[in-house]
Amino acid sequence: MTVDVSPTDIAGRLAEIQARIDAACEAAQRPAGSVRLLPVTKTVSEPLIRAAHAAGCRWFGENKVQEAQAKAEAMADLAADWCVIGHLQTNKARHVVQFAAELHSLDSVRLAEELDRRLQSAGRSLRVLIQVNTSGEASKSGLAPEEVPDFLQAISACQSLAVAGFMTLALPSEDDALVRACFQSLAQVRERARQDGPAHWRYDELSMGMSGDFELAIAEGATIVRLGTSIFGARD
């Protein structure tokens, strides 16, 4: 549940956020429209999500797969795409295959192989981003940056996975330099993948930046920013 924000506020809040994204693009001399806003709807009520859809949002991010699936089913009439952005246990891979358009938190070979197997049976593919732990915090999931090249080779035969790029959460810090270093690390991971990663994938996406740090992420090349509280209000 969120507090303080009502459905009638959502369009205005989205417009404010979009203006900040546009300004950050301009400051970074990046084209307008080069950053996509992914609204993060964890714990957000259906009326607020519907208001966001009515205001033009066509995809939503959730960190828990079952909550995401329940919402996708409850709001199937919206024809929105749902992205799973939180850590996924291998035994929940089948849920992702049932409804998700994109997974931002691929972080193990076992999970990749399980997804690939189930996607092949279902006759579909899945866009995936590889989660990288750029802050080094033990509490965060994701591969260490230096593990990514071998990981890409290890999953290169997973034909139903469309590896589209990389995702990270920055260090929660007041020190902009430390936050930026996380985003720079993800951009370097992508550079390396472009040079020597499996050539059948394009590594275009950098999913980085949340409500507290998305402008820094845009300055460092984010293509997707994942925003929850700045749109929907504080979570309980």
Ligand X SMILES: *Cc1c(COP(=O)(O)O)cnc(C)c1O
Task: List, in sequence order, the alpha helices (H) in 28-136.
Answer: 46-54, 65-74, 93-99, 109-122
The strands making up 161-167's β-sheet, listed across from edge to edge, are: 36-39, 224-227, 205-207, 161-167, 126-131, 102-106, 81-84, 59-62
| One-letter amino acid for residue 78 of the chain | L
For the CA atoms of 214, 219, 225, 231, what is the dihedral angle to 10 degrees? 40
Nearest approach in angstroms of CB 227 to ligand X is 5
Ranges within 21-80 binding ligand X (CB under 6 A): 40, 42, 63
- Encoded one letter per residue, x for contact with ligand X by CB under 6 A and - for no contact, window 127-166 reads ----------------------------------------
Q: Which of 8-16, 90-98, 172-180, 210-218 is the region at the interface with ligand X (rule: CB under 6 A)?
A: 210-218
Helix (H) or strand (E) holding 19: helix 7-27
Per-residue tokens: 203: 């590594």
Nearest approach in angstroms of CB 231 to ligand X is 8
Ranges within 86-115 binding ligand X (CB under 6 A): 86
Nearest approach in angstroms of CB 209 to ligand X is 8
Helix (H) or strand (E) holding 129: strand 126-131
- Encoded one letter per residue, x for contact with ligand X by CB under 6 A and - for no contact, window 160-179 reads ---------x----------
Instruction: Determine, following the binding rule CB under 6 A, whether residue 85 of this chain makes contact with ligand X.
Output: yes
Dist CA 231 CA 39 (whole Å): 7
**How many helices and strands (H and E) does the chain possess?**
9, 8
Nearest approach in angstroms of CB 87 to ligand X is 9
Nearer to ligand X, 86 or 145 (CB): 86
Nearer to ligand X, 149 or 221 (CB): 221
Nearest approach in angstroms of CB 210 to ligand X is 4
- Of 108, 139, 129, residue with least CA distance to 208: 129
Nearest approach in angstroms of CB 40 to ligand X is 4
With contacts defined by CB under 6 A, how many residues of the chain interact with ligand X?
A: 14
| Binding residues vs ligand X (CB under 6 A) | 40, 42, 63, 85-86, 169, 210-212, 226-230
